[in-house]
Chains A and B, each alone.
Chain A
Amino acid sequence: MSTWDAVWAGLIHILEPTAFLYMMLGIVISSTLVALPGIGSKTAIALLLPLAFTLDKFEAICLIVSVWAVSNTANSITSILFAVPGGSGSQATILDGYPMARNGEASRALSAAFTSSALGGIFGAIVLAISLPVLKPLVILLGPPEFFVLILFGIAMVSTLSGKNKAKGLVIGILGLLVSSVGIHLVSGIPRFTFGNLTLMDGLNLIPVTIGLFAIPELISLAASGSSISRMELNDLDSGRRQGIRDSLTHWWLVIRSSLVGVWVGMIPGLGSSVADWFAYGHARATEKGAEETFGKGDVRGVIAVDSATNAKEGGSLIPTLAFGIPGSSTLALVFGGLLIVGVKPGKEILTTHLDVTFSFIWLLIIASVITSLLCIVFIKPLAKATQVRPTLLVPIICAVSVVGAFANSNNFGDILVMATFGVFGYWLRLHGWPRPPLLLGLVLGPEAERHLWTSYQLYEWEFVLRPITGSLLILLIMILGWPTLKVLFAKMREEKV
């Protein structure tokens, strides 16, 4: 089968009426479930697997792959409306999405999020399709030392996420790293800061911490102020919706860059899926014009960057899976575990004799993403109205959603305590003008940085910094970090000369 034949065959398989119906079923179930905080695509797939036993090959592919492919769209809803993260990939959506909702722009924020999510999904699929011939060298280019330095770049974003007061940001970022060390240390097996407590042994979960840091303080202030989430009259919902779509299209260059960040994070095994949104947000904040002033206060570009990256990531994560036949994430392991039932195995076969299967995946990433975004856009109006509901009604609902979200993540009551603790702490931070995002950044990146540092050291001792890519990246990092100081020095030297 030639490549072009496979492209068409892949499309035709999923357009067969029953297969298409199963795709729609996957989209609806997945979107409904991931919109609820704490429930991710993994749970959705596990629930649908028994059904897959009864299906044909491409029907099963349509059902399972679409559940996975669209799991990053609807999870922005609660992030934007209530500052409750819908999933581990949508934390950074809160940073600008929620302020937009407060400014009466919920409709615009949601529609920008959904549109850029679709665009990101399409972009990820295209990159995947283009890189099919060169998958292997791409994946083995980088090892633990390079991962470590790349993550250092992420940690350096603390300063861009800190707002005006860099020193406060740094303190909170370090606190985040410290908090991230709670749990059984992966590399040595030693428990740290667990105090014999079973909940703490697995470390602090991202979702309860995020709900605590962002949603709980908002709840408290909503209840206290007595006003609805949106502090202003809602703008015209229809025009907000159109505006959001236009925003994503006019910032096409930002969408492409953020999608690239997403694909790249997805492609690198070992960076973890909750990193993509932060990298994209940090990138946008560092490179967009005037971002310093407007980001964090409701800039639509913050939403666009994050949502295009999280959806593009899925295409990226298929790259190592196809190249080496080894699922690139635990979710993908589940997807392929399910597809085994209909005889689809990751690896050589679907890249050679059954290439049409791979193209069905790619088409699904594109078609399912677009349909999901369109469906979500249809529901924007009733969703956005939630920001006008009076707090006596809304606060108990969000409170329940928060508690269930924190619990559903791992069915553990301890996580509700974690949420409450960070809720109190988050409120204190908000009250005293300390930035909260650096804490999450430390929590997300800390364990990854530490593990890759240890592995690099075990492999090469300190000589790992001399590896060509690692060394160049390190020098680049030092230059970026030192640039503001150097700039001042250069200016002084020039003055002295004059």
Chain B
Amino acid sequence: MQLKKLLGAAAVAGLVGQAAIMSQVASAGSHGDFYKGKTVTVVVRSNPGGGYDTYGRLIANHIGKHIPGNPDVIVQNMPGAGGIVAANYLNTQADQDGTVIAIFDRGAAFTQRVGKEGVDYDVSKWNLLGSATGEAYAYVAAKDAPFNSLSELKALSDEQKFSATGPGSDSYTYTELLQNAGMPVKLISGYVGTQEKLLAIIRGEVQGTAGSFGSIAEQAEAEGLKVVGLLGSVPSRPELQQLAEFMPDSQMPTMAVAVAPLAAGRPFATTPNVPADRVKILQDAFAAALNDPALLAEAEKAGRPIDYMGPQDLAELYGNILAASDEVIKKFTETPVEKVTAKLEEVGKKGKKIKFQGKKGQVSSSISKSRTTVKIGGEKSKRGNLKVGMECTIEYNPGHEKREAKLVDCK
């Protein structure tokens, strides 16, 4: 029995080959046979292992069957610079004849719009194939954290620490959105991966964190942590509050840009300049592969959801991001500033530190000799001249670890 099974496993490769031959017979001659005997490369924006790689290989294993001519399909991993390397390759180096498709970074359009260093691609020129699934983000809190939901978090006045990776990472961007919604959250960066972020909660260093629902929610709840809210929909969890409900209207455009990549969590495209009929072939094959029972079974076994989004929807999504106003984009690229007018309650040695009433309780803010502008009575002054009791307008960065002031303008 055992031996039979082993032989069966070894024969699987053979079977796949056989199936390929059969469908080849069926489709030969029905289309221009461009793909016959060709090799299609699926470029994956990260190293082997992980989500992008898994979805890339799922498509690579099954799309060949659905392309007339049944080309061989291989996977090429191309990690680097948060997906920019693979995206640049698509625009500048890949053969632009429809034999290269890529699973690219879901934030590619945003990265392009922000104008990050090294970007040498244009999403709007790509021929999009669609997205294999969407993602949702979950906010997680410690068992004994003083909030059980986003509404309770918003009502708190004490700062709650959230662990995150670092600026530019999803966990950081989506935790910053809590701040945008007016919640008293302080970001602690430097935690790499779901494991470190969750352990920081378990050790009691921080009260919360954010992570993609699929990778964090189940583990967190198994450890007795609470899922307190969501970004994006998870049909099985209607009871969880959506962050969007708490966003002031003024923040909604920012929110829309930030969240758009989640809707198309695993996007695929082929290069620019591919003839339209071949683009159509690839788009149809992509959709067909994601409907293929064999792919669906494989995805389910691997615990990876499939939720197809078509190329038109994807193009619209990226069009919106690329067309976002400078004002919205600035919210991501500039340090956030909070502005209050208050009396100085304490002034530290030589004016290096001041304390005053912020929007939610007393704030201690550092004054930099070079980076902070100090004005007294409308004239430029030095930090040493600040005195307790002065009435000042203070602009400071609430996310900075010392809440460094940008401007202290006193009467």
Contact = CB atoms under 8 A, between A and B. Distances in A.
Interface stretch (B122-130, B244-252, B298-306): B298-306
A273 B90 CA distance: 33
Contacts of A187: 166, 189-190
B9 A17 contact: no
23 contacts: A42-B48, A43-B48, A45-B48, A46-B48, A49-B57, A53-B298, A187-B166, A188-B189, A189-B167, A194-B117, A202-B79, A202-B81, A269-B196, A270-B192, A320-B195, A320-B199, A324-B219, A333-B50, A334-B50, A337-B54, A340-B302, A347-B222, A455-B191
A458 B166 contact: no
Given A196-B117, A337-B302, A451-B190, 13 more contacts: A18-B6, A46-B53, A47-B48, A49-B57, A53-B301, A54-B8, A189-B166, A201-B80, A325-B222, A410-B79, A411-B78, A459-B188, A459-B206
Contacts, number: 153
A170 B82 CA distance: 34
A249 to B, nearest CB: 36
Interface in B190-244: 190-196, 198-200, 202-203, 205-206, 219, 222-223
B189 A327 contact: no
Contact of B202 (A140, A144, A330, A455): A140
A184 interface: yes
Contacts of A404: none
A56 interface: yes
A139 B199 contact: yes
A21 B118 contact: no
A341 interface: yes
Interface of A: 16-18, 21, 42-43, 45-47, 49-51, 53-56, 139-140, 143-144, 184-189, 191, 194, 196-199, 201-202, 269-270, 320, 324-328, 330-331, 333-334, 337, 340-341, 347-348, 410-412, 451-452, 454-455, 457-459, 461
B194 A326 contact: yes
Q: Closest 6 interchain pairs by CB?
A: A189-B167, A46-B48, A455-B190, A334-B49, A326-B195, A201-B81
A42 B47 CA distance: 9
B136 to A, nearest CB: 19
For the residues of A in contact with B, the DSSP-based class is helix
A140 B203 contact: yes
B298 A42 contact: no
Given A196-B117, A337-B49, A348-B222, A458 B199 contact: no
Interface string B166-190: 1110001000000000000000111
A498 to B, nearest CB: 48
Given A198-B81, A410-B80, A455 B195 contact: no
B48 A347 contact: no
Nearest to B402: A461
A50 B85 contact: no
B126 to A, nearest CB: 19
Contacts of A337: 49, 54, 302-303
A55 B9 contact: yes
A46 B198 contact: no
Interface string B265-289: 0000000000000000000000000
B188 A341 contact: no
Interface in B52-87: 53-54, 57, 61, 76-82, 84-85
Contacts of B165: 186
Contacts of A454: 189-190
Contacts of A186: 165-166, 189-190, 192
A49 B53 CA distance: 12
Interface in B95-129: 117-118
Contacts of A18: 2-3, 5-6
A494 to B, nearest CB: 43
A198 B8 contact: no
Given A188-B166, A198-B85, A411-B78, A458 B188 contact: yes
Contacts of B149: none
B158 interface: no
Contacts of A199: 80
